[in-house]
Amino acid sequence: MNVWKNTEILDEFLLQSSELNVTNDKSSCSVAVLGSKAINLDEFSNLKGIFRVGVGVDNVPVEKAEKRNIKIQTTSLETNEYIFEETADFTCYLIFRMLYSNSGSVDPWDVVIRPSPLSSKRLLIVGLGNIGKRVKTKMSNFMNVESFDVLNNSISDLDKKLLKADYVSLNFPLTKKNVNFFNRARLSKMKTGSVLINTARAGIVCEDSLYEEIKNGRLSAAFDVLWQKPYNGKLKEFYPDRFFMTPHVASKTKIYIKNSYEDLINFTQKLNND
C-alpha cells in the first residue's frame, strides 16, 4: 500500500517496512500519515484513509474526508496512554525548569536567593482532560494547584484564577472556536511575573500578544508546541530564558513510536479488508 506522510516520527519503521511503500506522489497514495501539519485533501485523489499520529484531529479535514468516505484513524487507546503520561511528565518538567531557571552560577560564583518556597506557589491547570488531570495529581505534591475546565467553570472563573496563579499550564485541545483563546485580554489577566506553560497546541495562544507581554517583562513562558516547525518566529528573540521552547517532544518515546507504527499497520490492514 502506498503511504504519503508529512511527519518523520515513524520513519524508523516506515522506511524499512515490507508492507508499506512511502511515496511523495499525493495522487497515488492510499493512506496519508499526518503529524500536526494540515493537508489539502483536494491533492489526494485516491486516498482511502488518514492516520493521525497522536490524539488531536485539529489538523485533519474531517468533514471533507467523511464526504469522500475516507476513513480517519488516530492512535489506539493503549498508545494514547503513553502520550498522556509522558506529556504530563514533560509539562511538570517545564514548570520546574522555569521555576529554577535562575538559580545562580558557579563561575562566577553567584548565589540567587529565591523569594519564596515552592510550596507557596500557585499553579493553574486550564483543561482537565487526560493530561491535565495527570498534571494536577503530580504537581499537587509540590504546589498549590487549582484548575479550570469549560465543562465545570464559567469564563469569569478563569479570569479570577489567572489573577492569582504563578504558573498557568494549558492542557486543552485546539478547536475552531478557541483559536487565540489566550489573546491580549486574557494574557493581561495573568499575574505579573507569572509563567505560561503550553504542551497542548500553539494556536490556542496569540503569538503577537504573548510577544508583547514577554517583551514588556510581565510574563515568561515555556512551550513544547509552536506556530511553525522549525520555529523562527519573533519569540525566538527571548529564547532560552524568557521564552523556553522544545521541538514538540513531550510524548516522544520509543515505545510510543513503535506502538503508533503498529496502529498504522492495523489501520491499513482494515482498509485492505474493507
Q: pTM for this one?
A: 0.92
- Alpha-carbon distance of 89 to 190, in angstroms, equals 24
Average pLDDT of every residue of the chain: 96
Rounded Cα distance, 109 and 113, in Å: 13
d(CA 125, CA 51): 30
- In this prediction, residue 202 has a pLDDT band, given cuts at 50, 70 and 90, of very high
Distant-in-sequence, close-in-space partners of 153: CB < 8 Å, separation ≥ 6: none
Q: Report pLDDT digits (tens) over 66-121.
A: 999 999 999 999 999 999 999 999 999 999 999 999 999 999 999 999 999 999 99
- Alpha carbon distance 144, 86 (integer Å): 22
What tens digit of pLDDT does each residue of 223-263 get? 999 999 899 999 999 999 999 999 999 999 999 999 999 99
Long-range contacts of 67-71 (CB under 8 A, 24+ apart): 68/41, 70/41, 71/267, 71/270, 71/271, 71/274
Q: Give residue for cell 489573577.
A: 163
Share of the chain above pLDDT 90, in %: 96
Alpha helices of the chain — where are they, by DSSP H?
11-14, 62-67, 77-99, 130-139, 155-162, 184-189, 207-215, 254-273
Alpha carbon distance 64, 213 (integer Å): 38
CA 251/CA 162 separation, integer angstroms:
27
Query: Higher pLDDT residue, 102 or 145?
Result: 145
Q: Which amino acid is at 191?
A: K
> How many angstroms separate the CA atoms of 79 and 3, rounded?
21
Grid coordinates in use for 111? 548565589
What whole-number distance in Å separates Cα of residue 256 and Cα of residue 74?
13
Find out whether 4 and 33 touch, Cβ atoms under 8 Å: yes
As a whole number, mean pLDDT of residues 131-140 equals 98
DSSP state of 152: T
Closest CA to 132 of 149, 119, 118: 149
- Alpha carbon of 28 to those of 49, 110, 273: distances in Å? 13, 62, 19
How far is residue 18's CA from residue 205's CA, in Å, rounded to a whole number? 42
Kindly report the length of the chain.
274
